[in-house]
């Protein structure tokens, strides 16, 4: 029982980080219909800003967190204006090649700025305090991560499904010309959605640095995980990404606990089997 509870707690915390980062990719791929393989680069940029602020500038974590997210959004906005607006009209292969090129540009920039070593982010003492759950002691950081994931899921559901912005975004995706003729500023809507995804990636990259360590090659190391979450959950589905991230987080944690020598093989075999049965994912949108 103790082992099961340990797997659940660690897996849920790990899955929440995957969700926070990958859900932005689900928005861009499922709603905006662009294959953005540079998405993990925004998590890297957020982590790089947080590292620089907390370690080099002595800024406290809770101040550095929103500043680093804002810095990432300020990088994402001109990229969307100058590059991604052209990429939206590319074919799928061209989108893949273009966004991989942007990924390597991000990696080279961070490597030049901060080097290729691990980018440590100084957490406040409060997040390191142990919390006794009865069956084990857990750092407060894990509790905060789980709470943040739940808050992001609820907030995104409200924004995309219950607000005028979400309705305008879906209209712009379904038929951009018609939406524009009805007075919707589709360029602004796409820019806001793109920046939302980049900001979430930065938030997850910073908050999850203890679980997914940040270095210059972060996008290459973890992008497959983010893509798996989107594919298993179903592109464009917030609830699907949430369920997939939790399930995959628990599955990978269990494989590391129970079959450490074959954990990776077991994890990817389960993913392949699931996608063979559900090629559109758990809750993929067909439109």
Classify 138 as helix, strand or coil.
strand
CB 46 within 8 A of CB 61: no
CA angle at residue 243 from 155 to 253, to 5 degrees? 120
The CATH code belonging to domain 2-119+127-277 is 1.10.3470
Q: Per-residue confidence of the chain (287 residues) as pLDDT tens digits?
A: 677 888 888 899 899 999 999 888 888 887 677 889 999 999 999 999 999 999 999 999 999 999 999 999 999 999 999 999 899 889 889 999 999 999 999 999 999 999 989 999 998 888 888 887 776 777 888 889 999 999 999 998 888 888 888 888 878 877 777 888 888 888 888 899 899 999 999 999 999 998 899 999 999 999 999 999 988 988 777 888 899 999 999 998 888 888 888 888 888 898 999 888 888 888 765 44
What pLDDT is recorded for position 287?
A: 40
* For the chain, domain boundaries: 2-119+127-277
Residue 130 β-bridge partners = 139
Q: Are 194 and 28 in contact (CB under 8 A)?
A: yes
Give residue 237's pLDDT. Answer: 79
Structure tokens at 16: 């929440």
Prediction pTM value: 0.90
CB atoms within 10 A of CB 165: 14
pLDDT (0 to 100) of residue 175: 76
| Distance of alpha carbon 263 from alpha carbon 268, whole angstroms | 9
- C-alpha to C-alpha distance for 200 and 160, rounded to whole angstroms: 14
d(CA 65, CA 209): 12
Q: Give the pLDDT score at 286.
A: 41
């Amino acid at each position: 029982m103790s082992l099961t509870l340990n797997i659940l707690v660690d897996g849920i915390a790990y899955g929440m980080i995957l969700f926070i980062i990958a859900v932005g990719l689900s928005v861009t791929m499922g709603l905006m219909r662009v294959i953005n393989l540079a998405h993990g680069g925004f998590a890297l940029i957020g982590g790089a800003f947080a590292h620089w602020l907390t370690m080099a500038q002595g800024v406290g974590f809770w101040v550095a967190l929103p500043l680093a997210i804002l810095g990432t959004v300020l990088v994402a906005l001109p990229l969307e204006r100058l590059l991604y607006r052209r990429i939206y009209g590319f074919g799928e292969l061209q989108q893949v090649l273009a966004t991989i090129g942007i990924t390597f540009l991000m990696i080279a920039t961070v490597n030049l700025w901060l080097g290729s070593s691990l980018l440590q982010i100084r957490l406040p003492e409060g997040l390191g305090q142990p919390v006794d759950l009865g069956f084990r002691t857990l750092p407060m950081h894990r509790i905060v991560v789980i709470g943040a994931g739940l808050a992001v899921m609820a907030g995104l559901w409200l924004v995309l499904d219950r607000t005028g912005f979400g309705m305008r975004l879906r209209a712009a995706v379904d038929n951009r010309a018609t939406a524009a003729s009805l007075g919707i500023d589709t360029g602004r809507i796409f820019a806001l959605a793109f920046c939302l995804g980049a900001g979430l990636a930065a938030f997850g990259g910073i908050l999850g640095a203890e679980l997914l360590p940040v270095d210059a090659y972060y996008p290459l190391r973890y992008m497959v995980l983010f893509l798996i979450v989107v594919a298993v959950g179903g592109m464009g589905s917030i609830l699907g990404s949430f369920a997939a991230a939790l399930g995959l987080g628990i599955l990978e944690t269990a494989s590391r606990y129970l079959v450490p020598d074959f954990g990776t093989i077991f994890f990817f075999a389960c993913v392949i089997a699931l996608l063979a049965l559900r090629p559109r994912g758990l809750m993929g949108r067909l439109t």
